[in-house]
Amino acid sequence: MALRKFVSGIYKLVAILSQQTVNEKIHILPNELSDGKNSETNICFYKTNKSSKNNKVTFQQNLICILQAGEKEISGVELNEKFDNKTIFLLQTGNVLMTEKTTNENEYKSILLFFSDKYFIEFKNRYNLNFSIYDAKLNSIKIIKNEYIDNFEKSLEFLEKGLENTNLLNLKLDEILLYLFQNYREKLAPIFKNIQSRNQNLELINVVHNNLNSNLTIEELAFLCNMSISTFKRKFVETFHTTPKKYFIQHRMQKAVTYLQQKKKPSEIYFDLGYENLSAFSNEFKKYFGVSPKTYILQS
């Protein structure tokens, strides 16, 4: 009996530790919220009834967050900000630790507007905007809501289903970006300039994003960018704030999770994810999440 209880206790401990490891995964946004669809702009009406602490989040696109209920705290390089439902904030691409706190009624709600660097450059050119006179230092900015922003927020809710139309979403993004630049220029221009400076590597961004699912080698990607391998790796880190290997593993793992949540078997997806055999996929998945794909399915 004692041995049975001991073994049972060990199984429970392993399950708890495995679940903790899964919960420590890196969330890649907006990819995780858009079922992996590649688009220059994305919108998400996000809700949850659970608080979370220090989630590891990689933002592949820039973000305008309109917080509606609850509180958010973001920490990163030269960044430590708290937000509530009286504010909106703009955040650049990169890695952060994110904490979300629900209200006393266990509610957390926000509207997330994502836009790529490429979209922003096209936006800047459309309206002939100039940020050259400002220093490029800020990573995020917080703005107190006013009547205009409140009405903009309501318009997004009213158009929620219609915003699946990319053209309408882009118009709404243009609207809020123009309004923020016109009224908060000195605050926002440094962030806008950062995006502009980052896109000296726009060709590299386009090549990477267009080949996320092509399983090309680093040598092949460097060739398409007309760069040496060493130059490609250096500019990649400048642009994406991580190495090519880590970036593509993150993308593959998030895509794998999407497949597994759809109840697809590991043997059905490893080749599509770019692995030569099931064993190679299973080993990398376990190294990344701490559990095997089969265990992940059972715990989901």
Same domain, 267 and 168: no
Beta bridge partners of 62: 115
Kindly report the average pLDDT of the chain as a whole number: 84
Average pLDDT over residues 210-217: 83
Flag whether pLDDT at 294 surpasses 50.
Answer: yes
Same domain, 248 and 293: yes
Q: At what angle do helices 147-158 and 166-183 cross, to 10 degrees?
A: 170
Would you say residue 269 lies in a domain?
Answer: yes
Same domain, 271 and 233: yes
Average pLDDT over residues 58-82: 90
Flag whether pLDDT at 58 surpasses 80.
Answer: yes
Euclidean distance between CA atoms 139 and 152, whole angstroms? 24
The number of folded domains in the chain is: 2
Flag whether pLDDT at 120 surpasses 80.
Answer: yes
pLDDT computed for residue 19 by the predictor:
41
Same domain, 258 and 192: no
Same domain, 112 and 232: no
CATH, residue 194 = 2.60.120.810
Same domain, 82 and 159: yes
pLDDT computed for residue 267 by the predictor:
92
Question: Looking at 172, 199, 226, which one is the last position of a domain?
Answer: 199
pLDDT digits (tens, 9 = 90+) for 161-176: 888 788 999 999 999 9
pLDDT digits (tens, 9 = 90+) for 6-27: 334 433 434 433 444 444 678 8
Same domain, 231 and 109: no
Would you say residue 205 lies in a domain?
Answer: no
Same domain, 192 and 97: yes
Flag whether pLDDT at 41 surpasses 90.
Answer: yes
Domain extent at residue 215: 211-299
